[in-house]
Amino acid sequence: MHTLTECDIPAVLNFVRTHYSDRQLIYVGHSVGGQLMGMVENASLIDKAVTCSSQSGYWKLQGGNQKFFVMLNVYLVLPVVTRLFGYFPWKKLAGGEDLPKGAALEWASRCRSPNYLFDDQRLPHRGRYAKFKAPILAYCFSDDDWGTRSAVRSLMDHYSAADLQYRDVSPHEYGMRSIGHFGYFKRGSEALWDSTIAWLRGESEHDSH
């Protein structure tokens, strides 16, 4: 996770700014993508940002039965299985992508902490969140038990200098049966994408603060 923040994301931002200097640089961060954005050293290159379900992972902020599922995972399953196999075999267990040992244990540790990654003393650049000034549109979906309203705000409020607009969305508003944690990016979400594009163009009035 440190490598992603310190190397990968800054490299992509530098590349885009260098090769497309006449364009706006729009950062779209899903979940952890919005969590890490505030620590990136060259985040000032970002003109506007859209975050989707970017939330504190603290287990008590999760919704419904997900709260107890996350508690079980971060206190027992992730630590034990990861140390047993040397990595977390997410693909075998739940069809996700396998996690390296360090990333899995780091994630579990943060999800046990009330202030999530802001309790991680190994992170030297947490103060950068308060210096992020680009406008942010922060999505929260009513049927996402991972990214609850309180979990999203717990994280995004650290972007205290940004022009931050929260958008709390129910699936039926856009004629969708469900959105959840990953639905924004799936086929059938075109109306939601159009709304996002309108905001990026300065045309949207469907914002809640």
Each residue's pLDDT tens digit, 81-132: 999 999 999 888 876 789 999 989 988 999 999 999 898 887 778 889 999 9
C-alpha torsion sign, points 19, 25, 26, 27: positive
Q: 99 CB contacts (<8 Å, ≥6 apart)? A: 82, 87, 88, 90, 107
Confidence of residue 205 (pLDDT cuts 50, 70, 90): low
H or E element, residue 207 = none
One-letter amino acid at 106 equals: E
Which pLDDT belongs to residue 126?
85
Q: How many residues does the chain have?
A: 209
Residue 49 has pLDDT above 90, yes or no: yes
Q: Which top CATH class is 2-15+25-54+126-200?
A: alpha beta
Contact 4, 90 (CB under 8 A): no
Q: Which amino acid is at 102?
A: G
Confidence band (pLDDT; 50, 70, 90) for 204? Answer: low
**3-state secondary structure (DSSP) of residue 163:** coil
Please report, for the chain, the start and end positions of each structural domain, with discontinuous segments joined by +: 2-15+25-54+126-200, 60-112
